[in-house]
Amino acid sequence: MPTRSTDEWIRLSLRTPGILIFGMVMAPCGWVLDLTATVAPNWRTLHNIPNTPPDEFIQQGIWDICRANSISPRAECNLEDTTYFGNKIIEVAQGLMVASLIVTLIGIAVAIPGVRCWKDRPNWVVAGLGGLLIFLSGVMTIIPIAWYTHILPNVTTVTPLIDVRVGYCIILGYIGGIFEVLGGFVMFIGICRCCGGKNRGERRVEEVMGTRFNHQKPPPRPATVPSLNRARSSASSSVPYSKDSMDDDVSFPRAKSPARTVNTSYGERPYDADL
């Protein structure tokens, strides 16, 4: 049998490692949230606008602007605002958000061949490269959202009377970007074997063999069965009497059972049944 090298590792099970499962679950969830944040026109809302009803507000996104109110669920979209769309942050956000969606899909497509669980060992290099792309897509999502949030009141000239609030797209974008960053990072650390191979679900062959030999069950102890062919001796017996002594030593007279007699005389005429 050939000797094994000290750098040889063995997988404890044929299941897909947990770090790859975590990354492949977090990446699609983050992509859906980023897609919603990209297309929905609610990066910020403007309330208390002069010369407008008090229940009316404006929703501004990176692709569209809508006017809505708290009474009617319908919103009037496709509003023109050249000053808002001419801001630098809007152009950067449009490019980075679209690029993030594309890079996430590419990262998932690259990671799938390396994560496939029908093989003995995953392709850690391919899966790690896919995780790196997913990580970069999350960074590309967080950058424009954090920048937009930082200069939220200064995107356009807003009077102090207007109440500027954060829209739900910012929250969804943050969550989606964090999902992709965490999932991609966890998948990427599979390229390097760390934590004693536990990140890959592996252990050294020497450790596995040593643990197997150390945990072997000890041989069963021989059980001594007492022999049943022992000679009876009155001296070594612990019983102070025997069956014979019980029959002989009787202090009272026994009643004799009457002998059974058969009547052979018939005083009547015999029948066929008696023959």
CATH number of the domain enclosing 137: 1.20.140.150
* Domains: count for the chain: 1
pLDDT in tens, 90-128: 999 999 999 999 999 999 999 988 887 566 677 888 888
* Residue count (the chain): 275
Angle at 71 between CA 69 and CA 72, to 5 degrees: 75
Please, where are the H alpha helices in 40-167?
82-85, 88-115, 124-150
Q: Is the pLDDT of residue 32 over 90?
A: yes
Question: Is residue 82 a part of any domain in this protein?
Answer: yes
Q: What is the Cα Rg of the chain in Å?
A: 46
Expressed as residue numbers, the domain containing 50 is: 9-212
Strand order in the sheet with 44-47: 65-69, 56-60, 44-47, 163-166
pLDDT in tens, 118-171: 666 778 888 889 999 999 999 999 999 999 888 877 766 566 677 888 889 999
pLDDT in the model for residue 3: 45
Question: Is residue 250 a part of any domain in this protein?
Answer: no
Interhelix angle 18-39/168-188, nearest 10 degrees: 150
DSSP string, 82-111: HHHHTSHHHHHHHHHHHHHHHHHHHHHHHH
Question: Is residue 251 a part of any domain in this protein?
Answer: no
Question: Is residue 98 a part of any domain in this protein?
Answer: yes
Please give the model's pTM, rounded to 2 decimal places: 0.65
- Compute the distance between CA of residue 175 and CA of residue 163 in angstroms, rounded to an integer: 25
Structure token pair of residue 203: 């252990």
The lowest-confidence range among 48-52, 85-89, 195-199 is 195-199
Question: Is residue 146 a part of any domain in this protein?
Answer: yes
Q: Is the pLDDT of residue 265 over 70?
A: no
Question: Is residue 200 a part of any domain in this protein?
Answer: yes
Cα dihedral across residues 163, 167, 171, 176: positive or negative: negative
Question: Is residue 257 a part of any domain in this protein?
Answer: no
Question: Is residue 172 a part of any domain in this protein?
Answer: yes
